[in-house]
Amino acid sequence: MTATNTNKDTLINEVIPFVIICIPIFIFLSFVHKYALNLPHWDDYDAVLAFMNSYKNATITDKFLLLFSQHNEHRIFSSRLAYIFYKGLFGTINFRHIIFTNAAILLSTFGLLVYLLRQIVPSVWQVASLVLSMCMFDLNNYENANFAMAGMQNYGIFLLFLSSMYCYSLSSNKYIIAAVLLQMVCVFSSGNGGIGSFLITAFVFATGNKTRKYIALSTFLLITPLYYIGFNKGASDFFTLNPLKFIPYFLHSTGSHFGLTLGLFFAIVLLLLFVYLLPFNQNKSLKRLDSVSPFSVMFLFLALFILSSLGVMSIFRGNLPIEGSCSSRYLIYSHLLVAVVFIFFLIRYQSHKLLKRISIISVLILVLTYTLHYEEGRIGFETYYNTMKNTPYDYPDANRAKALTDEACKLNIFCIEQARTKLQ
């Protein structure tokens, strides 16, 4: 083979697919760079500024308690560690930089998933990565992209969950400590962290040896109950156990990647495909999960984490109007579920003669969906930008927002007037 042919093959097989996979990423990051502002938005006032104000002069004991204190129904220990670490490095809080950090977390999660795909579907990993890229970097995920604490929480929980399972799946025992620490932090990173810890344990029972099973189970049993010590469930106006409310909310949330109108139909399709395409062996007979690649099983538990999280969210938010099920803040769950179901298809049929035809149809549908979401996402980014830039205190209680920012400025944590001056 000549050098010319070798270069041509490299271009076709490696460079061009890489560029195509990266297109949604470049578009997403360009929007983040263009529209991210060094200004707090909604929960940022409490989750970041109120916390940092209290933490600044607290005693050592109170600092520890503040790290684990509630934010609404969540404990966001990992997010708070990030804010403290950033403040320690740079002296003040910069919300634009936190937003960039969130984008890095999302990229890291994507990178880990692509690495796994190269191991489990080596012949079609580029197709799987393209679908994953379009789903994870969909522009209608603009709220997580522009909202500092939301992105830190919603992206961070996925990275912690997946990283813990990955470390548990490695054969070397030197990664077990990292796996345990990640599992522990996962519990205190969001309201669904306990679900994550349980599913990490279930993953280890499905794939690991006896020692790892004991370690993961002990971590879950010892750490998860601590989440509920002194837990205050707060206002329950959104909570419902009425199946006529939470089931439709769950279905719309599950299919929200395809919008409110089509979400219900696609939710049913996704759930049926999820069950049919479970990553067992090729002749469709059920095998023990420990005989399947642990990396394949990780995608199964990722899907279970998504569905469980959406189920719990639907109970706690089911009294809200059904439009809330398609909130941009939670679309990352449906985006990832769509990608995982497609990956299940590739795992099952990577050697089947129908693979190419069905893959092309599926990718075209998802390209069309991504394209339709582009304009929605662009408007969302611009609206966020204009609202935050033109609203002095983007928070339901402007007086409280002003008091928090005034105190933060006095404590040299964040000065909103200085941040606004730099925007002019």
What lies within 8 Å, CB to CB, of 237 at 6+ separation is 319
What whole-number percentage of the chain has pLDDT above 90?
A: 72
> Residue 11 has what pLDDT?
53
Q: What is the overall mean pLDDT for the chain?
A: 90
Q: Where are the alpha helices (DSSP H) in 69-94?
A: 77-90
Q: pLDDT-based confidence at 424, cuts 50/70/90?
A: low
Q: H-helix or E-strand containing 74?
A: strand 74-75
Among residues 133, 152, 157, which one has the least CA distance to residue 336?
133
- Note the pLDDT tens digit of each residue in 49-88: 999 999 998 999 999 999 999 888 889 999 999 999 999 9
Burial of 63 (0-12, 13-18, 19+ CB in 10 A): middle
Among residues 48, 52, 41, 86, which one has the least CA distance to residue 410?
52
What distance in Å separates the CA atoms of residue 40 and residue 47, rounded to the nearest whole number? Answer: 10
Residue type, 213: K
What distance in Å separates the CA atoms of residue 406 and residue 51, rounded to the nearest whole number? Answer: 14
> Residue 286 has what pLDDT?
45
What distance in Å separates the CA atoms of residue 321 and residue 324, rounded to the nearest whole number? Answer: 6
> Residue 268 has what pLDDT?
96
> Residue 277 has what pLDDT?
86
User: How far is the CA of 302 from the CAs of 17, 182, 255, 273, 281, in angstroms?
Assistant: 25, 15, 16, 15, 19
Q: What residue spans define the domains of the chain? A: 69-232+240-390
> Residue 153 has what pLDDT?
95
Q: pLDDT-based confidence at 396, cuts 50/70/90?
A: confident
DSSP 8-state class, residue 269: H
User: How far is the CA of 376 from the CAs of 98, 103, 259, 381, in angstroms?
Assistant: 24, 20, 11, 9
- The pairing of strands 70-71 and 74-75 is antiparallel
Residue 285 has pLDDT above 60, yes or no: no
What distance in Å separates the CA atoms of residue 253 and residue 28, rounded to the nearest whole number? Answer: 22
Residue 287 has pLDDT above 90, yes or no: no
> Residue 12 has what pLDDT?
61
Higher pLDDT, residue 347 or 265: 265
Q: Are 203 and 168 in contact (CB under 8 A)?
A: yes
Residue 359 has pLDDT above 50, yes or no: yes
Average pLDDT on 291-315 reads: 90
Burial of 180 (0-12, 13-18, 19+ CB in 10 A): buried
Residue 321 has pLDDT above 60, yes or no: yes
Average pLDDT on 173-200 reads: 96
Average pLDDT on 400-423 reads: 93
Residue 282 has pLDDT above 50, yes or no: no
The 3-state DSSP class for residue 71 equals: strand
- Give the sign of the dihedral formed by CA 55, CA 56, CA 58, CA 61: positive
Q: pLDDT-based confidence at 292, cuts 50/70/90?
A: low
Among residues 165, 155, 250, which one has the least CA distance to residue 199?
165
Average pLDDT on 325-345 reads: 94
Q: Are 31 and 384 in contact (CB under 8 A)?
A: no
pTM over 0.95: no
> Residue 281 has what pLDDT?
47
Residue 280 has pLDDT above 70, yes or no: no
> Residue 236 has what pLDDT?
62
